[in-house]
Amino acid sequence: MTVTIYSTPTCPYCKLAKAFLTEHDVKFKDIDVSADREQAAKMIKLTGQMAVPVIDVDGTIIVGFDQKKLAKVVGIHA
């Protein structure tokens, strides 16, 4: 499973999403879209919007921190 989070350093929901995944030992790649214009453009192309976090789990896109949906997609059973 490949998990990528498009985020910014000041986004509180990005921090929550990363903390949630870390707490459940889910490895992820964090991409700071405020520092990487190419990746920001890719994120916008994926979602059609500029909101963060954008979480890509093997092609399933979640915009924002939806804990229940994220848990389900990555296989966390709470």
pLDDT in tens, 16-62: 999 999 999 999 999 999 999 999 999 999 999 899 999 999 999 99
As for how many domains the chain has, the answer is 1
> What are the φ/ψ torsions at residue 41 (nearest 5 degrees)?
-65, -40
CA distance 36 to 21: 23
- Residue 29 domain boundaries: 3-74
Do you find a cis peptide bond into 12, omega within 30 degrees of 0? no
Q: Which residues contact 10 (CB under 8 A, 6 or more apart)?
A: 34
**Model-level pTM greater than 0.75?**
yes
Which CATH number covers residue 52?
A: 3.40.30.10
